[in-house]
Structure 1
Amino acid sequence: MNKNIEKIIETHDIVLFDEICVLCNRWAKFLIKYDHTAQFKLASVQSALGQAILQHYDMPLDNFDTMLVIQNGQAYTESTAFLKVMDSLGRPFSSVKIGYLFPKRMRDFVYRRVAQNRYGLFGTTDYCLFVSAENKQHFLESVVHATI
């Protein structure tokens, strides 16, 4: 599976998100709506594929306090992950890259405060995002299975 994961990582830009987190699901829905070219492929950290990707990058398999973004094979976490995605979406979202002017320690501090309290602030859900014919190009598992 490791060679398969490496090929997937080399081939796709990926956003791993916590599927039970309401805020994370809203983020995924935002990407489905505004990532018009489906550059980023979504995968849940709880899925087998998400777990394999986390393992590949030596990330915790049971503590999901950060989104993981993989772009051109490079892994990004915390505030940098968010900024990388927003910058890639183009205008008007790329203007958020002004966040890079703030020190990474400060950006990540704020990111961690929200991430560690997201269930209390935004809640959890038992409903995962529904993959449909209209949005399946946004989901990593759909794209990977289509090429196998």
Structure 2
Amino acid sequence: MAKLLPRPPYSYREDPAVPAFDDAGPVAIMDGDCALCSWGARTIARLDRQGEFRICPLQSSTGTALARHYGLEPRDPETWLFIDQGQAWSGMEAIIRIGERLGKVGRLASPMRVLPKGLREWLYRRIAHNRYRFGRSDMCALPDPELRRRLLT
């Protein structure tokens, strides 16, 4: 598993390889071809009542550039990012933080914190490497209007 490069908050703003994007709120960068990730994107859109979250397919120019900025390989099935207030997280930590940020039902991910970090990340890697067993889905093809409003490309 590639390790997320430590970067100062908002460092991507100074990276000429990263296109400018709306980072006023949290951004989830995930596999746009994965049915499980597409479900996650729709869940974020449904639970985020304030409309703060943005969703970015990893296959987009912005998603690919952000992954590379943080030292991750965009084609690696383990690549998944969450950026909030300019700070980035990956793997299971990203999923837990998204759930906590969403609150209410989203906090169901929080109990994962009781597991040792190594076990949490092992579990994440198992899911990531088998994600297409859940099916394939183009997140951007015909998203619902709430998801479409949040998509970054």
Residue pairs, 1:34-73, within 5 angstroms: 34-73=47-86
In structure 2, the CA distance between the partners of 1:112 and 1:133, relative to structure 1 (3 Å rule), is closer
Unmatched tracts of structure 1, length 5 or more: 142-148
Percent identity, aligned pairs only, is 27
Residue pairs, 1:63-142, within 5 angstroms: 63-119=76-132, 121-126=133-138, 128-130=140-142, 133-141=145-153
Distance (Å, rounded) in 1 between the aligned partners of 2:64 and 2:36:
20
Deviation at 1:104, TM superposition (A): 0.7
Distance (Å, rounded) in 2 between the aligned partners of 1:117 and 1:105:
18
8 A Cα contact 1:14 1:42, kept in partner:
yes
RMSD of equivalent CA atoms: 2.5
Which segment drifts farther, 73-82 or 62-71? 62-71
Unmatched tracts of structure 2, length 5 or more: 1-13
Higher helix proportion, which one?
A: 1
TM-score normalised to the size of structure 2?
0.78
- Alignment length, in residue pairs? 140
8 A Cα contact 1:13 1:69, kept in partner:
yes
In structure 2, the CA distance between the partners of 1:101 and 1:126, relative to structure 1 (3 Å rule), is closer
In structure 2, the CA distance between the partners of 1:53 and 1:23, relative to structure 1 (3 Å rule), is same
In structure 2, the CA distance between the partners of 1:6 and 1:34, relative to structure 1 (3 Å rule), is same
SS at match of 2:54: strand
